[in-house]
């Protein structure tokens, strides 16, 4: 080797703030938010109950918001979007039906174990497609604060079904 390799002889400063306070990690490290300690004082949309688990105010999250969402049987939210935020919805229990578009003209369904991605500024509506089971979901957004902008749009009567395409349904089979 002709001396062009990386020089490992320069000093490294391995001191970090936690070295001076051995208890810091105990309080500022991993945080567990118990299920019975969620914050329901968050922006809401008609027909939906949201509860915050992870946000800036609760744990200092800089780039994420996470919590739960439940929708009663046969209920649907008002049309809304979440501004510049990206959202991921994970269905825990029940049957979710999403409608979206400038007239809510598109629709797709998701069940337990499915993930739903909602891009920024997309007008949408969450629907509990079950007549007798509460829809329970986990929600994650790309910012530490919740944003929910309710909008008044005239929905189409019959939304167009969008085929569910994923590795299990590569040809876009309708998911039941």
What pLDDT digit, counting tens, does each position of 77-113 carry?
889 999 999 999 999 999 999 999 999 999 999 999 9
* Residue 90: its H or E element: strand 87-93
The number of folded domains in the chain is: 1
Assigned domain for 73 exists: yes
The tokens describing 73, both together, are 């049987």
Assigned domain for 70 exists: yes
Assigned domain for 25 exists: no
Domain residue limits at 130: 35-161
The pTM assigned to this predicted structure is 0.75
What would the pLDDT profile of 115-174 be if each residue is shown by its tens digit?
Answer: 999 999 999 999 999 999 999 999 999 998 778 898 988 877 777 777 766 655 556 554
pLDDT of residue 176: 44
CATH number at residue 153: 2.60.120.10
What would the pLDDT profile of 63-72 be if each residue is shown by its tens digit?
Answer: 999 999 999 9
How far is Cα 55 from Cα 7, in angstroms, rounded to an integer?
42
Assigned domain for 17 exists: no
Assigned domain for 176 exists: no
Assigned domain for 12 exists: no
Assigned domain for 137 exists: yes
What would the pLDDT profile of 6-43 be if each residue is shown by its tens digit?
Answer: 555 555 555 555 457 788 888 778 888 888 888 888 76
* Three-class DSSP labels, 102-164: CCCCEEEEECCCCEEEECCCCCEEEEECCCCCCEEEEEEECCCCCCCEECCCCCCCCCEECCC
Assigned domain for 11 exists: no
């Amino acid at each position: 080797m002709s001396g062009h390799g990386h020089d490992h002889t320069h000093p490294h400063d391995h001191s970090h703030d936690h070295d001076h306070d051995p208890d810091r990690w105990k309080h500022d490290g991993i945080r567990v938010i118990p299920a019975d300690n969620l914050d329901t004082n968050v922006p809401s949309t008609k027909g939906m109950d949201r509860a915050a688990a992870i946000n800036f105010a609760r744990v200092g999250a800089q780039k994420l918001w996470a919590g739960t969402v439940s929708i009663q049987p046969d209920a649907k939210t008002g049309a809304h979007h979440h501004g510049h935020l990206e959202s991921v919805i994970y269905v825990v229990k029940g049957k979710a039906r999403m409608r979206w578009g400038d007239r809510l003209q598109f629709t797709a369904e998701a069940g337990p174990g499915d993930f739903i991605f909602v891009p920024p500024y997309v007008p949408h509506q969450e629907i509990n497609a079950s007549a007798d089971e509460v829809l329970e979901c986990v929600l994650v957004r790309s910012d530490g604060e919740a944003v929910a902008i309710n909008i008044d749009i005239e929905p189409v009567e019959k939304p167009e079904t969008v085929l569910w395409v994923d590795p299990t349904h590569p040809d876009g089979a309708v998911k039941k």
